[in-house]
Structure 1
């Protein structure tokens, strides 16, 4: 029987000796096998075919004896190569029969290793972490107005998001957010005015400043102090597992620009593609926004000794309403997308005779409409409007600005956009807003210009750009020129202009 070059090379390799554990391109990689060695041609063929390997230190170590398991490994690799002549197959069959026991052992070892690797991969996939770390600087003259504090200009920030896969259709998720401020003027300072007068007939004013040690703690920044801020479960329900449902506390946005809702909520929401809806989806939601706010009122009176003392302390909580929402979104032709939402307050405790109880605005119904037009490949224009039935003429709304306090408007123009995997990608945007204080269910807007300054109306322009200087790193700079109102009229004494310049780097991981 005539043997081909491949079988001859295999048998030559057996005669020479050893095989190792790391791949080599050819015998040229073996420093201890000179080209004039009698086995060079056979070893070079075996190495190029991937049948024999070196020892990992650029040597072949052909002087030591080859074990039967090493020989069996060579035979197995040769058999995996396939092809060849009838003579090749006959010789390999004989070699396979000779080393059948070792080959069987090797197969079992490989199967065991594959199982271990698969189990390890499944365990690694069950728990995942991702998020971003932000370095941000800026200037904001709004921090100086009306005694309001702020912490969104100069800070180190991290958003850590984790998930634990329970089974193929259930995942538990959580978020941890941390703000670390590094500018002294952004310490939170509040002024508390007591009800009674002091001896010189002036109101009692109590300054309450937060120290550097306390400014990042839970009492002053409950959602950004490094504790777990959101916990929810994602489920894929239904016969086809296509009813995507969230249950728990999480950040939620409704509308293309999150005007109707953009903040933390407690509740349940399910999302489903409309059958034969040509790309349209709907969502049904039931939740309470985490937009409660509270205050403490102290009554101070002069006692018999002429000393002022606190005679009564009352705590009031203004709770956000429990709401139900229907939300629909999808394409209107090739160049237009739409979002239509309706929210109904189904639990409301406002008592007009007790202005300190219940949700502050008295609104029952909320409507939202968004349209996004893409006239060109890299250009999009998004317009959004939100309207509530809050009555601005009611006594409990007399603090709100006149006119359109129950309406939000926003128009955003975007050119191109960033791709974290594409270095050099960039985007430009401009946004105009006219935001009332009684139009939405809750807000935590993306640039923190409505919060935490406590204003009750914002209008003006934002301009910004973003780019990807390095993979998974995004640089964004934003400038805003806004008019804010803190009284009952845009022309009121406390209306002021706000100028904001911020720049930040986001490191995604």
Structure 2
């Protein structure tokens, strides 16, 4: 009982200290010893509505403050009282209404402020081994890659509708403990830290607005899985429309082949349908300006890519998905102006569920003029081939995965295979 009183007093002090502005009546002033509230609380304690407040620990030996009394009243109000007890609770609530109101508001604000900035992130290790078969007299070639990544993703609340979000990535090439020898003989540390994304997002009942640098969501599986700088308007629920406009860096968008400049003007429109049941569908059109070089025909200064895709869930375990894209580039790249991917998946790894797992198999044909920077790990842009993968959660928030890809380069049919492994620690 005394511990309960101390707890109530401590809570009242902490909450009261959170602000220098109080009610007109000092909440820390004592309730007079002859105040009727003592008898009322004693009666409620005797009736079991409030536990431990029916003896001299708070009555007779010493007085208590109005905030302490408000704490007791709040506990009584949480009970399902009736009859005379309810009348007493109502009378007490009216007497200490100002303290109850202030206490409730301040507690709510403290909880809200504690959640103003949320942090998520992960640490991951990725191993990739690529093997390319030599053509004619050329020798086979192997490439190994080992990388550590540390990612932070803060989200800060601005108001009820707006948040500011970011992604900060730091990675290191672990093959040489971060050291990398350049062609000149100089040694680079092999590490890099980059602010990958930063944007403001406004969420409203029927639409969402983004401004800054954020992830593309139109055909991000097949056409390009990269962020861009600009604005986005998305509207609708089950049937969602998306409109994008901005600028995109071309260093990952096959600029050496199709002539996308260092920074390209980009716009796109898309539509997605997903009722959370069995069928989902999507379609989009994306446009980039060009530098008229590489594969690009004369007088062609833009590339347009349209895409369409659909998925179907047979039950909670099996699902299929297929997507197709085609670019506007002419016959100079006729064998790489289309891209498509299809596959079947079984179950799925869930980070929060230890022991969960999933597997998939798919085929990818990723013509480089349509699949500028697709999301796939073992079949890259400009290649075609089979992909197999499995994910497993050995412990909560730890995801392991292994993928294998085999196929050939579209341009010259060079054979290749890729082994990919990753472990992620989520927090």
Tell me if 1:231 matches 2:190. Answer: no
Name the TM-score, length of structure 1 as normaliser: 0.61
Give 1:422 shift: 2.4
Instruction: Call closer, same or farther: CA 1:232–1:226 in 2, change over 3 Å.
Output: same
- 2:304 counterpart residue number: 365
- 2:352 counterpart residue number: 421
RMSD, aligned α-carbons:
4.6
Q: SS of 1:21's equivalent?
A: helix
Q: Structure 2: how far apart are the matches of 1:69 and 1:115?
A: 22
- 2:37 counterpart residue number: none
Bigger Rg over Cα: 1
Tell me if 1:289 matches 2:279. Answer: no
Tell me if 1:430 matches 2:361. Answer: yes
Give 1:272 shift: 0.9
Give 1:247 shift: 1.5
- 1:507 counterpart residue number: 425
Q: Structure 2: how far apart are the matches of 1:369 and 1:233?
A: 29
Q: Structure 2: how far apart are the matches of 1:459 and 1:403?
A: 15
Within a 5 Å distance, the mapping from 1:50-89 to structure 2 comes to: 50-52=50-52, 66-69=61-64, 73=69, 76=73, 80=77, 83=81
Tell me if 1:118 matches 2:108. Answer: yes
Q: SS of 2:113's equivalent?
A: helix
8 Å CA contact 2:401–2:423 kept in 1: the answer is yes
8 Å CA contact 2:403–2:420 kept in 1: the answer is yes
Q: Structure 2: how far apart are the matches of 1:360 and 1:496?
A: 35
- 1:211 counterpart residue number: 187
Give 1:410 shift: 0.9
- 1:266 counterpart residue number: 229
Q: Structure 1: how far apart are the matches of 2:309 and 2:362?
A: 14
Within a 5 Å distance, the mapping from 1:73-152 to structure 2 comes to: 73=69, 76=73, 80=77, 83=81, 104=96, 111-137=101-127, 139-141=129-131
Instruction: Call closer, same or farther: CA 1:325–1:177 in 2, change over 3 Å.
Output: same
- 1:319 counterpart residue number: 262
Q: Structure 2: how far apart are the matches of 1:422 and 1:247?
A: 34
Q: SS of 2:216's equivalent?
A: strand
Name the TM-score, length of structure 2 as normaliser: 0.72
Unaligned runs of 5+ in 2: 9-41, 254-258
- 2:322 counterpart residue number: 383
Give 1:162 shift: 1.4
Q: Structure 2: how far apart are the matches of 1:141 and 1:467?
A: 25
Give 1:287 shift: 2.5
Instruction: Call closer, same or farther: CA 1:505–1:348 in 2, change over 3 Å.
Output: closer
Give 1:463 shift: 1.3
- From 337, 359, 377, the counterpart of 1:447: 377
Q: Structure 2: how far apart are the matches of 1:436 and 1:408?
A: 5
Within a 5 Å distance, the mapping from 1:336-375 to structure 2 comes to: 336-345=279-288, 347-350=289-292, 364-375=303-314
Aligned residues: 380
Q: Structure 1: how far apart are the matches of 2:318 and 2:287?
A: 34
Task: Note the alpha carbon deviations across 1:367-397, whole angstroms, 9 max, x for none.
Answer: 111121223432111111111021252xxxx
Q: Structure 1: how far apart are the matches of 2:141 and 2:264?
A: 26
Q: Structure 2: how far apart are the matches of 1:77 and 1:166?
A: 31
Q: Structure 1: how far apart are the matches of 2:141 and 2:56?
A: 77
Give 1:470 shift: 2.4
Tell me if 1:484 matches 2:409. Answer: yes
- From 20, 27, 35, the counterpart of 2:5: 20
Unaligned runs of 5+ in 1: 1-12, 24-41, 55-59, 191-206, 217-224, 295-315, 394-401, 451-455
8 Å CA contact 1:413–1:429 kept in 2: the answer is yes
Instruction: Call closer, same or farther: CA 1:273–1:356 in 2, change over 3 Å.
Output: closer
Q: Structure 2: how far apart are the matches of 1:247 and 1:184?
A: 39
Instruction: Call closer, same or farther: CA 1:331–1:461 in 2, change over 3 Å.
Output: same
Q: Structure 2: how far apart are the matches of 1:131 and 1:388?
A: 35
Q: Structure 2: how far apart are the matches of 1:281 and 1:253?
A: 12
Q: Structure 1: how far apart are the matches of 2:248 and 2:74?
A: 63
8 Å CA contact 2:131–2:140 kept in 1: the answer is no
Q: Structure 1: how far apart are the matches of 2:378 and 2:178?
A: 14
Once the two structures are overlaid, the 10-residue window that deviates more, 74-83 or 133-142, is 74-83
8 Å CA contact 1:157–1:180 kept in 2: the answer is yes
Instruction: Call closer, same or farther: CA 1:183–1:61 in 2, change over 3 Å.
Output: farther
Q: SS of 1:120's equivalent?
A: helix
Q: Structure 1: how far apart are the matches of 2:108 and 2:120?
A: 22
Q: SS of 1:260's equivalent?
A: coil
Give 1:113 shift: 4.1
Q: SS of 1:330's equivalent?
A: strand
Q: Structure 1: how far apart are the matches of 2:72 and 2:58?
A: 20
- 1:313 counterpart residue number: none
Instruction: Call closer, same or farther: CA 1:65–1:147 in 2, change over 3 Å.
Output: farther
Q: SS of 1:121's equivalent?
A: helix
Instruction: Call closer, same or farther: CA 1:62–1:340 in 2, change over 3 Å.
Output: closer
- 1:309 counterpart residue number: none
Q: Structure 2: how far apart are the matches of 1:124 and 1:143?
A: 56
Tell me if 1:182 matches 2:167. Answer: no
Once the two structures are overlaid, the 10-residue window that deviates more, 384-393 or 359-368, is 359-368
